[in-house]
Amino acid sequence: MKKRMYALMSVLFVSVFVLAACGGESGDVITLKLADNHPDDYPTVIGDKKFAELVEEKTDGRYKIDVFAGGQLGDEKSVVEQLQLGSIDLTRVNATPLTEFSDDIGVLSLPYLFESEEAKWEHLNGELGQELLDTFEGSKLVGLAFYDSGERSIYNSKKLIKTPEDLKGLKIRVQPSELAISVFEAFGASATPMEYGEVYSAIQTGVLEGGENNFPSYYTSNHYEVAKYFTVNKYTGPPEILMASQKLWDSLSDEDKKAFKEAALESVAVQREAWDKLTQESKEAVIENGNEIFEVTDFAPWREAVEPIYEKYGEQYKEWLDKLNK
């Protein structure tokens, strides 16, 4: 009996010791902040949390990541600036606002760039994707992985838009980016850059007549309550990007860098699964809530309307467009 007791005690002792060595109680745990502007159960936040869990696991608990969802740490632009300063360690951000921080990444926000979502993901998962993540070098940001954000379309509070002509003069909110403004000007709309969190009340009070986004964002931001008409013209599909601050990156050992990178890439599958599910559910939910949806079948006039964008930005993104045989 005594023997068993001793055995049990030594097992307990060893486990406490191991736990402490893993950082559980040792005080050596480094806690990092990850910012996301979406609500807690949004697919990107599900991805962020998976990433956090995997980092903790792969670094034996030496790194812990606290995920701050719902824009608690600021809007996307200010979060990216805080990453550059090193006061926030990690973020998940959309590629379009990053066009203001990188000369290359904007290629992913060009209208009708890929033939399909499958084609886009083949490139993002391949060499081109990694090369694009590497273009942040020198901007105090480190790109870790791409998350899914599907395709963006247009919505408004006035009427069901069927052709680019119907958009003429409508005040449409775009993401804060030169390129995004140019695209909506090419569609003939009056493009208004604004932070995401301000759009609901701007449409509600009539300052804006609409916006553009994918179904999950349209639904979870409640914009569908104030804009009832959604036109599925899938005009662009900038992915989400999981990023680290250069400051954090430089502080990591090579082995930990590998752990962070692997954790980021492994979290993608979980994020994309949640993405597909919410894309389906959110489309159904906005229809159930009385929204009218127009599914574009003739994309020719939409593609034609944005041809000037390729004239304007063709030179800047030449290297990437060549790689995509565009």
Binding site for ligand GTR (CB under 6 A): 37, 76, 93-94, 97, 149, 175, 196, 213-214, 217, 240
Give the tokens for residue 214: 């994918």
Task: Write down the least CB distance from residue 272 to ligand GTR, Å.
Answer: 14
Determine the Cα–Cα distance for residues 318 and 324; give it in Å rounded to an integer.
10
DSSP string, 134-171: HTTTTTTEEEEEEE----EEEEESS----SGGGGTT-E
What is the crossing angle of helices 254-288 and 43-58, to 10°?
160
Task: Write down the least CB distance from residue 268 to ligand GTR, Å.
Answer: 15
Query: Which residue's CB is nearer to ligand GTR, number 252 or number 270?
Result: 270
Determine the Cα–Cα distance for residues 36 and 70; give it in Å rounded to an integer.
6
Task: Write down the least CB distance from residue 96 to ligand GTR, Å.
Answer: 6
Task: Write down the least CB distance from residue 87 to ligand GTR, Å.
Answer: 20
Determine the Cα–Cα distance for residues 180 and 76; give it in Å rounded to an integer.
15
Query: Which residue's CB is nearer to ligand GTR, number 59 or number 213?
Result: 213
Task: Write down the least CB distance from residue 44 to ligand GTR, Å.
Answer: 6
Query: Cβ distance 64 to 56 under 8 Å?
Result: yes
For residue 53, report the phi and psi dihedrals to the nearest 5 degrees.
Answer: -60, -45
Query: Which residue's CB is nearer to ligand GTR, number 94 or number 156?
Result: 94
Query: Which residue's CB is nearer to ligand GTR, number 148 or number 256?
Result: 148
Query: Which residue's CB is nearer to ligand GTR, number 58 or number 283?
Result: 283
Task: Write down the least CB distance from residue 196 to ligand GTR, Å.
Answer: 3
Query: Which residue's CB is nearer to ligand GTR, number 37 or number 246?
Result: 37
Query: Cβ distance 229 to 294 under 8 Å?
Result: yes
- Local structure of residue 283 (DSSP, 8 states): H
Helix (H) or strand (E) holding 65: strand 63-68
The type of residue at 210 is: G
Query: Which residue's CB is nearer to ligand GTR, number 36 or number 89?
Result: 36
Determine the Cα–Cα distance for residues 47 and 50; give it in Å rounded to an integer.
5
Query: Which residue's CB is nearer to ligand GTR, number 56 or number 76?
Result: 76
Task: Write down the least CB distance from residue 213 to ligand GTR, Å.
Answer: 5
Task: Write down the least CB distance from residue 17 to ligand GTR, Å.
Answer: 43
Helix (H) or strand (E) holding 144: strand 141-147
Q: What is the dihedral of CA 292, 297, 303, 306, to 10 degrees?
A: -10
Give the tokens for residue 196: 């995401």
Determine the Cα–Cα distance for residues 155 and 284; give it in Å rounded to an integer.
16
Query: Cβ distance 144 to 267 under 8 Å?
Result: no
